[in-house]
C-alpha cells in the first residue's frame, strides 16, 4: 500500500506532485512558505505523466502515482518546462517507469538534452496534438514564460490546462485547490511569484493572454506546476485580471523606499522622505535591507510608481546589500516612473551618484538626490521631507 496518495483534480487527472515544506531559497528568491512541485497523472488509454518533480522528490511522486496505478504502466511523460525543479526527477522516474515516449517542445528537447543527455525526448509542435487514445492533449508554446522551452498542455475532453509555472505560486500547503485557501493569500503569493519570476517577461504575458483568448479554449481546471490547482474559475478569472494589470505595468499611488544603513543616518533620511510622501497621501513601503530581502523589494516594486534608493558609501562604493538589490530589480525591468537617491557618507560619498545613475539606467525619471555628511542635519531632514513631498506630487499628477 502506498504511503502518499494522489489527489483527483478532474475525471481522469490526478495530482501526483511533491510538497517541499522546507525550501527557503529558490535560485535567489526567498520562498518563505515553501513550495510544491506539481505533477499530474492523466489516466487515459495512454497513461501520461505531465511534468516531473525536483530531484530528490521522485519517490514522493511515484508513491502518489502508485496509489492510482502501477507506475510502470505510465506510457508517456510530457515535460512542459525543462527547469530542474520540474525535470530534475525525470531521469530517475523514467528509469523506473520506462515510458514508451517522453515529449517536450522543441526548446524543451534542447534543454533536456543539455541536462540529461541520456534521456530520449521527442518534440511536439506548437498547436500540435497527442492522442492518448480516448483523450487528446493539445500543446501551446509559451516561449519565454519563463524559459524558451516553456509550453502549456491542454486536456481537451476535460478542459484542464497544465500551465507549468504560469499562474503558480511558491506555497506549500496541505490544501490542493485554490478554493480551500484564503483569497488574500492567493493574491499575496501570486504577486511575489509574478514580481520575482515573470516581470521581465511581461510583454510575453500580454501576448499570451491575447493568444489564449483568441484560441477560444475554455477551462474547468488550471493546473500549474507550483502551488494550488485552480478549480474555481471565478477565482482564476480574477487572477487573470491581476496578470493583465501586472503585465501591462500599471502602477498605483505607491512608493518603495529601499535602503540600508550603517549607523542609522541613511535610515533617518529614509524616514523623512517617507513622511514627505505620506503628506501627499502616497502609500509607502519602507524596506530596510536588514529586515527584508531582495525578493520582498521586487514584490513591492511590482505596482509602485516610485523607487527611492538609499545607501551609505563604503570603500568609495554603494553599500553591498543595495548593489545586490539594484542589480536584481534592474534585471527584472520594472517600469517604475520615478526614482530618487539618498545616503550618508563620511568622506568620499559616491553612493548617491551611483544610485542615481542606476535609477536612470532603469528608466526612472530621477527626481532628486540627497547626500548627508555623517548624520543628517535639520536642514538635510527638511530636504528629505521636501523630496518625498515632490515625488508624491509627481505620483498624484500621473495617476
Tell me the catalytic residues. 27, 81, 83, 85, 146, 165, 193, 226
Nearer to ligand FEO, 83 or 300 (CB): 83
Rounded-to-integer distance, Cα 366 and Cα 387, Å: 11
Distance CA 80, CA 162 (A): 8
- If the CB atoms of residues 168 and 388 are measured against ligand FEO, the closer one turns out to be 168
Alpha-carbon Rg for the chain in angstroms: 24
CB of 164: closest distance to ligand FEO in angstroms?
7
Q: What are 85's strand-pairing partners?
A: none
The residues in 149-168 that bind ligand FEO, with binding defined as CB under 6 A, are 165
* For residue 146, cis peptide bond before it (omega within 30 degrees of 0): yes
The span of 82-90, 198-206, 270-278, 369-377 binding ligand FEO (CB under 6 A) equals 82-90
| Candidate ranges 79-87, 91-99, 282-290, 308-316; the one touching ligand FEO (CB under 6 A) | 79-87
Rounded-to-integer distance, Cα 21 and Cα 23, Å: 6
The answer to whether residue 81 forms part of the interface with ligand FEO (CB under 6 A) is: yes
Q: Is 386 within 8 Å of 276 (Cβ atoms)?
A: yes
Cell of 339: 526614482
Q: How far is the CB of 54 from ligand FEO (least distance, A)?
A: 9
Tell the residue number behind the cell numbers 498547436, with chain if given: 127
Supply the minimum distance, in Å, between the C-beta of residue 94 and ligand FEO: 19
Of 79 and 247, CB closest to ligand FEO:
79
**In the complex, residue closest to ligand FEO by CB:** 83
Of 36 and 265, the one with the shorter C-beta distance to ligand FEO is 36
CB of 26 to ligand FEO, least distance (A): 8
Number of helices (H), then strands (E), in the chain: 12, 23
Q: Which of 310, 304, 332 is nearest to 323 (CA)?
A: 310
Which of these, 211, 47, 48, lies nearest to 140 by C-alpha position? 211
Residue 6 beta carbon to ligand FEO: minimum distance, rounded to whole angstroms: 20
Residues in region 119-148 near ligand FEO by CB under 6 A: 146-147
Partners of 257 in the beta sheet?
Answer: 286, 308
- Nearest distance in Å: CB 35, ligand FEO: 8
Extract the runs of DSSP E, i.e. beta strands, from 110-200: 122-123, 129-131, 136-141, 151-155, 160-164
Whole-number Å distance between alpha carbons of 287 and 274: 11
Is 85 among the residues that bind ligand FEO (CB under 6 A)?
Answer: yes
Closest-CA residue to 370 (of 346, 343, 389): 343
20 touches ligand FEO by CB under 6 A: no
- Given 46, 64, 86, 135, the residue binding ligand FEO (CB under 6 A): 86
In the window 238-297, what residues touch ligand FEO (CB under 6 A)? none
Kindly tell me which residue out of 92, 226, 253, 285 binds ligand FEO, with binding defined by CB under 6 A.
Answer: 226
Binding site for ligand FEO (CB under 6 A): 81, 83, 85-86, 146-147, 165, 225-226
Amino acid at each position: 500500500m502506498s504511503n502518499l496518495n494522489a489527489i483527483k483534480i478532474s475525471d481522469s487527472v490526478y495530482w501526483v506532485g511533491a510538497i517541499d515544506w522546507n525550501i527557503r531559497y529558490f535560485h535567489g528568491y526567498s520562498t518563505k512558505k515553501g513550495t510544491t512541485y506539481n505533477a499530474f497523472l492523466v489516466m487515459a488509454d495512454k497513461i501520461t505523466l505531465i511534468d516531473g518533480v525536483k530531484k530528490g522528490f521522485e519517490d514522493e511522486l511515484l508513491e502518489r502515482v502508485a496509489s492510482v496505478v502501477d507506475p510502470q504502466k505510465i506510457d508517456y511523460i510530457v515535460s512542459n518546462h525543462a527547469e530542474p525543479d520540474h525535470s530534475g526527477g525525470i531521469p530517475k522516474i523514467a528509469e523506473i517507469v520506462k515510458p514508451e515516449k517522453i515529449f517536450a517542445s522543441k526548446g524543451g528537447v534542447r534543454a533536456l538534452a543539455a541536462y540529461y543527455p541520456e534521456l530520449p525526448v521527442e518534440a511536439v509542435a506548437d498547436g500540435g496534438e497527442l492522442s492518448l487514445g480516448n483523450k487528446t492533449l493539445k500543446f501551446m508554446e509559451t516561449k519565454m514564460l519563463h524559459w524558451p522551452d516553456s509550453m502549456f498542455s491542454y486536456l481537451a475532453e476535460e478542459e484542464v490546462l497544465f500551465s507549468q509555472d504560469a499562474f503558480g505560486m511558491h506555497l506549500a500547503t496541505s490544501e490542493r485547490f485554490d478554493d480551500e485557501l484564503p483569497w488574500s493569500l492567493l493574491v499575496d503569493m501570486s504577486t511575489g511569484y509574478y514580481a520575482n519570476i515573470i516581470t521581465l517577461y511581461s510583454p510575453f504575458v500580454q501576448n499570451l493572454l491575447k493568444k489564449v483568448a483568441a484560441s477560444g479554449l475554455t477551462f474547468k481546471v488550471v493546473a500549474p506546476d507550483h502551488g494550488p490547482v485552480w478549480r474555481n474559475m471565478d477565482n482564476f478569472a480574477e487572477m487573470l485580471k491581476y496578470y493583465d494589470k501586472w503585465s501591462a505595468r500599471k502602477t498605483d499611488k505607491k512608493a518603495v523606499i529601499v535602503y540600508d544603513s550603517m549607523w542609522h543616518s541613511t535610515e533617518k533620511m529614509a524616514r523623512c522622505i517617507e513622511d514627505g510622501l505620506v503628506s501627499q497621501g502616497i502609500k509607502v513601503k519602507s524596506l530596510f535591507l536588514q529586515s527584508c530581502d531582495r525578493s520582498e523589494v521586487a514584490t513591492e516594486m511590482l505596482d509602485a510608481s516610485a523607487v527611492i534608493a538609499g545607501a551609505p558609501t563604503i570603500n568609495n562604493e554603494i553599500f553591498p546589500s543595495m548593489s545586490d538589490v539594484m542589480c536584481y530589480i534592474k534585471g527584472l525591468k520594472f517600469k517604475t516612473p520615478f526614482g530618487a537617491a539618498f545616503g550618508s557618507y563620511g568622506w568620499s560619498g559616491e553612493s548617491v551618484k551611483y544610485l542615481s545613475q542606476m535609477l536612470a539606467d532603469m528608466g526612472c525619471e530621477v527626481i532628486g538626490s540627497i547626500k548627508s555628511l555623517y548624520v543628517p542635519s535639520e536642514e538635510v531632514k527638511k530636504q528629505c521631507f521636501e523630496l518625498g513631498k515632490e515625488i508624491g506630487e509627481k505620483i498624484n499628477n500621473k495617476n
